[in-house]
Structure 1
Amino acid sequence: MTIRTHHLDPEVRRALQSAGAAAKRGLGDPVLAELVMIRASQLNACAFCLDMHVDIAVEKNGESAKRIALLDAWREAGDLYSERERAALALTEAITLLTADSVPDDVFEVVSEHFTEPQLAHLIGVITVINSWNRLMVARRIEPGGPAW
């Protein structure tokens, strides 16, 4: 039996929305924020979040279809992504796919070359919040374009 629950407590929703907005504001790079959220959503197989963040990246931030399409293969995409973006994507994968080794030191070393301490804190916030949204949407079986709450 498949259980579908579309209910999301309004306090939880507001808290996640507030945390996400603060993290994105502090990061100060809306294109990078969307790339990170799309990559985490790919890893978590969250169709709802992928649908929403691809639309935001393209329509609101002018991201190219090519960069969105190749995001899953960013390591092999040559210079399509900047060093800063690649560092953020590596951190996104390390945090999203936590293992017994946690987040590798070499990932932190590379990302700290491209982000200040406050920016890194906000980047980690963006990654953490999208992972929470992914888990909420997948667990609740919310389909692309469906009601989120």
Structure 2
Amino acid sequence: MTTSNGTRIQLNNGIPKAFQALLKMSEEVAGAGDRSGVDPVLMELVKIRASQLNGCAFCLDMHTADAVKLGVDPRRLFLLDAWRETALYTEQERSALELTEAITQLPRTQDVPDDVYERAMKVFTEDQYQAVGWMIMVINSFNRLAVPGRPPLPQSS
């Protein structure tokens, strides 16, 4: 249902305790990433790539800005959709992006292929793999909250 002013219902504020729990889960997963030594830039790249695949403008806007604040070269953000075609990403980042694509597209792929999993195991510890995998699930949840509501982007600063 679209309201008379053309806006859609925003799922994130309809059940506030559920949304707060998702925010808390996101914080916990980010902390697990920090504790296990996952580069925060890698986590932002995961969020951006999943948001690209899911077509989530709101999350893309937020996480590309966050990546720039972390010092990511904008060129790496511009080319993220074509990451396989460049040498701009580390081996760990490439593995995380590949894993992001596999998990985000589970409805189509039905699996994380063995070769994708094996490459991840070569570059991540078990704790790092857990943190990256959980972050992929968290950002996909945020994407699924935002996309149906088409929230307006915040004003540029």
Length-normalised TM-score, structure 1:
0.91
* Cα RMSD after superposing both structures: 1.5
> Structure 2 stretches of 5 or more lacking a match?
none
2:103 paired with 1:55: no
- Residue by residue over 1:74-105, the C-alpha shift from the partner in whole angstroms, topping out at 9 and shown as x without a partner, is 0001x210011000000000000113541111
Name the residue aligned to 2:101. 93
Name the residue aligned to 1:5. 9
Question: Does the aligned pair in 2 maintain the 1:39–1:72 contact within 8 Å?
Answer: yes
Question: Does the aligned pair in 1 maintain the 2:2–2:9 contact within 8 Å?
Answer: no
- Residue by residue over 1:97-144, the C-alpha shift from the partner in whole angstroms, topping out at 9 and shown as x without a partner, is 113541111110001111111111111110000000001000122132
Could you list the structure 1 runs, at least 4 aligned residues long, displaced by more than 2 angstroms after superposition: none
2:120 paired with 1:111: yes
Question: Does the aligned pair in 2 maintain the 1:49–1:144 contact within 8 Å?
Answer: no
Once the two structures are overlaid, the 10-residue window that deviates more, 127-136 or 5-14, is: 5-14
* Structure 1 segment 1-149 matched on structure 2, within 5 A: 2=2, 4-6=8-10, 7-28=13-34, 29-59=39-69, 61-77=70-86, 79-98=87-106, 99-145=108-154
> Structure 1 stretches of 5 or more lacking a match?
none
Question: Identity, % of aligned pairs?
Answer: 51
The CA distance in 2 between the partners of 1:100 and 1:43, in whole Å, is 14
Corresponding residue pairs, total: 144
AA of the residue aligned to 1:26: A
CA 1:10–1:85: 2 relative to 1, 3 Å:
same
Length-normalised TM-score, structure 2:
0.86
